[in-house]
Amino acid sequence: MPLPRLLVLFGSQTGTAQDVAERLGREARRRRLGCRVQALDSYPLVNLINEPLVIFVCATAGQGDPPDNMKNFWRFIFRKNLPSTSLCQMDFAVLGLGDSSYTKFNFVAKKLHRRLLQLGGCAVLPVGLADDQHDLGSDAAVDPWLRDLWEKVLTLYPVPPGLDVILPGVLLPSKFTLQFLQEAPRTCFEDTQARVDPKGPPSELQPFLAPMVSNKRVTGPSHFQDVRLVEFDITGSGISFTAGDVVLIQPENAATHVQRFCQVLGLAPDRYFTLQPQESEISCPAQLPQPCSVRHLVARYLDITTVPRRSFFELLACLSPDELEREKLLEFGSAQGQEELYEYCMRPRRTILEVLCDFPHTASAIPPDYLLDLIPPIRPRAFSIASSLLAHPSRLQILVAVVQYRTRLKEPRRGLCSSWLASLDPGQGPVRVPLWVRPGGLAFPKTLDTPVIMVGPGTGVAPFRAAIQERVAQGRIGNFLFFGCRQRNQDFFWEAEWQELEERGYLTLVTAFSRDQEQKVYVQHRLQQHGPLVWDLLDRQGAYFYLAGPL
Amino acid sequence: MAEFGISAGHFVAVVWDNSSPVEALKDLVDKLQVLTGSEGRVSVENINQLLQSAHKESSFDFILSGVIPGSTTVHSAEILAEMARILRPGGCLFLKEPVETTVVNNSKVKTASKLCSAMTLSGLVEVKELEQESLSPEEKQSVQEHLGYQSDSLLSVQITGKKPDFEVGSSSQLKLSIATKSSPSVKPALDPAAAKLWTLSANDMEDESMDLIDSDELLDPEDLKKPDPASLRAAPCGEGKKRKACKNCTCGLAEELEKEKSREQKSSQPKSACGNCYLGDAFRCASCPYLGMPAFKPGEKVLLSNSNLHDA
């Protein structure tokens, strides 16, 4: 008799909802239920009407918006032409992740729940509303909701006779097995990372390997922050963008970290393996070549410098052969240990690699088969595009502030993508960076004479530079930029460019240098001072007003 | 009398007015007192004093008003409402009142149907006309005297009304059964036309021109509310951060904590095996100078620079 099949669909922006969805998948497997876990936009919606039991795990992002990997689903599910009996075969439940400091708290989950009812679905539970503002975070709502869910699900699909529920301490089979090859394969597939499928513009599954043209520091040498202007050559990529659009960059781990990781786990970086899913419902990640080297897996795929979640410790405990370490890992994975875990891990932003170094006996005993269960994939980072194709054809520029800060850990915390980009020097040899473009949140007016007011302190000015370049190329005046930074001679990005445009009559620039004088002057002070002008622009001339950056 | 349904233990109010002959009133009260016995009670109220008496609500099982032979009591809406209030749930009102049989505007005397609706509006249910009879010449005279009204088309009518079975302000839970299907097989079949429409739409994911419903309209005012801040707090737990000794503590914190704990019930004690705090942060105690540094091998020399010692 085939196992009853549960479908878990998630919409996740930062990976938290995905983590909860995967936890659901594991708990389902413990209860002997077949379970598929997929991002909403990866699931063929045409099959949804045939699904008997679906759990939706959805974060709310931005201003009450759905996360990127459920945007297509969101546009679909509200279509007026969907019949109200479409989902009459479906039992469902919706679990939302959100933050109640936002007005539109968990709007995505709330709306989805209602819409599914409207389409004829039957809710087995009230909508779950997890809240980051709770002292104990989302778990405070997720834990009891899951308990109720399983109670309900087990009445619908009891554990088959003769089988038991697999207890939490017992290890589940890994999602994949890594079949190691004796020798390296003849041809190296991975360096030609471009997938043999040139249909359509570059995307997450097939990024464009853009040559880096230049990588220049644009902040003064004594300034505390390293900010780079990075330029890429996108000739022949099929990439097109307009001002306000965003570029996504897929970073990789630093060589020193890769080395350390392999050392601690006892992995040979130059060995190759093929990846095999252990269940028919699991598919191999498309980003991994087959066969794949350990070095590639650790450098390009496994996010070893991210801060681990509770589920990491739960799984690691099951894998630990050392009594002392296992006990501590169990504690960190337990509901009672969450406060301790927060102090140990989340507050100081301790990375997976650092945790593994703290648990050496466990780390060296991790079976490679479990690597993809344990460590999430590296997520791409988004940057506002800072140039216009009309001013720099075939080029794409971004402004990158290198993230570096201290917590109580000895080693300073570093941004993965910004540090990686900063380390690349096209002067030393060809450098290629995987990237693709997606539409951004800023849309500039189509009408020719609508003025535009842009307030962009610091790196927030990046999309406005693209907009101004675009508008100037189209002959549009009426560009008003309020720019703020610390010191005129330290971080006044594009000072010469603005000056030239002002002389040519295309730009009105108002600056605020917060530390050039005794009292702090910020863009909001300047806006106040220019109140009458701003008001006239908005009220009489119908100007558009934009805000971006650290405010 | 027995037709009223009054028996032992009942609380009865007899309401009279100036039109009621005193002898007849006394007579009625005596008879009622016999009926209600020692457990019951008979109260006598002048209709004009009733509101001022302000009896406690739900005080009486029965109210008899204007029933004394010879009375020509007229009941106002206010009086009827008060009577309804002081009746207990399920209690009965019997009243007798002269009524007009022809419709006369602004008359002091109501028609029978108007009287019935007045009783209903005051909160009584099961309002029934029991009987009608013509007025005696004395009663007609009484109407003229007390009400200043004269007419040839008057009748006397006896009406009963009941207080509903609940007191004002009481609440009771509705049993709503939210139909949760207990078995997956109890699902309606999917309409083939609906399936086709869905499939067509789902196969056309790229079409941006399709009309969408406004998702904001799905939300009701409850959805817009934020959670109560009190619900976001974790259960309080004694002191703030717990001081913990590492497993192989050599700095003496373990002994100190053990002394504190010895007063309470015995709980699991950390092993006091001898060793250095070379294990990572996960195993170090709160006062360890190596906090923030990775684990190192026992015996490995780790230099603590000035910055280590001064770090927060």
Task: Write the pLDDT tens digit of every residue in A84-141.
Answer: 999 999 999 999 999 998 889 999 999 999 999 999 999 999 999 999 998 878 988 9
Contact A184, A270 (CB under 8 A): yes
Angle at the Cα of B182 from the Cα atoms of B178 and B185, rounded to 5 degrees: 120
Contact A422, A226 (CB under 8 A): yes
Tell me the two tokens of residue A533.
Answer: 């002008």
Residue B19 is predicted with a pLDDT of: 83
Contact A153, A124 (CB under 8 A): yes
Angle at the Cα of B60 from the Cα atoms of B55 and B61, rounded to 5 degrees: 170
Average pLDDT over residues A330-341: 89
| Tens digit of pLDDT at every position of chain B (312 positions) | 556 888 888 999 999 988 888 888 999 999 999 988 888 899 999 998 898 888 888 899 999 999 888 888 889 989 999 999 999 999 999 999 998 888 777 777 888 888 999 999 999 999 999 888 888 888 888 888 888 888 888 889 999 999 988 877 777 767 665 554 445 457 888 888 999 999 999 998 888 888 899 999 899 888 888 888 888 887 655 444 555 556 555 666 666 666 666 655 444 333 333 355 788 888 887 777 788 888 887 666 666 655 544 444
Residue A483 is predicted with a pLDDT of: 95
Distance of CA B208 to the CA centre of its chain: 50
Residue B266 is predicted with a pLDDT of: 44
Q: Classify burial at A486, counting beta carbons within 10 Å of its beta carbon; exposed 0-12, middle 13-18, buried 19 or more.
A: buried
Asked if A45 lies within 8 A of B202 by C-beta distance, the reply is yes
- A83 vs B180, B194, B295: nearest CB: B194
The rounded distance, in Å, linking the Cα atoms of A343 and A364 is 25
Contact A477, A505 (CB under 8 A): yes
Q: Which residues contact A161 (CB under 8 A, 6 or more apart)?
A: none
The rounded distance, in Å, linking the Cα atoms of A22 and A44 is 19
Asked if B232 lies within 8 A of A131 by C-beta distance, the reply is yes
Write out pLDDT tens, residues A251-295: 999 999 999 999 999 999 999 999 999 988 788 998 899 899 999
Q: What are phi and psi of A165, to 5 degrees?
A: -70, 135
- A79 vs B211, B227, B279: nearest CB: B211
Share above pLDDT 70 across residues of chain A, in percent, rounded to a whole number = 97
Probe site for chain B from A42, A45, A106, A116 (most B CB atoms < 10 A):
A45
Probe site for chain B from A5, A74, A111 (most B CB atoms < 10 A):
A111
B247 to chain A, any CB pair closer than 8 A? The answer is yes
- In which element (H, E) is residue B258 found? helix B253-261
Contact A508, A481 (CB under 8 A): yes
The rounded distance, in Å, linking the Cα atoms of A452 and A397 is 22
Low-confidence winner among A369-378, A455-464, B283-292 (lowest mean pLDDT): B283-292
Residues of A in contact with B191 (CB under 8 A): 83, 85, 88
The rounded distance, in Å, linking the Cα atoms of B93 and B218 is 50
Side chain identity, residue A441:
G
**Secondary structure letter of residue A379 according to DSSP:** P
Instruction: Tell me: pLDDT of A33 over 90.
Output: no
Side chain identity, residue A280:
S
Residue A465 is predicted with a pLDDT of: 97
Residue A183 is predicted with a pLDDT of: 85
* Cα→Cα distances A457→A9, A478, A506, A522, A529, Å: 39, 19, 20, 9, 17
- B187 vs A88, A110, A152: nearest CB: A88
Closest listed residue to residue A504, CA positions, set A526, A476, A530, A538? A476
Probe site for chain B from A94, A100, A263 (most B CB atoms < 10 A):
A100
Residue B227 is predicted with a pLDDT of: 87
Instruction: Tell me: pLDDT of A419 over 60.
Output: yes
For the full predicted model, state whether its pTM sits above 0.90: no
DSSP SS3 for A96: strand
Tell me the two tokens of residue A513.
Answer: 């240098």
B233 to chain A, any CB pair closer than 8 A? The answer is yes
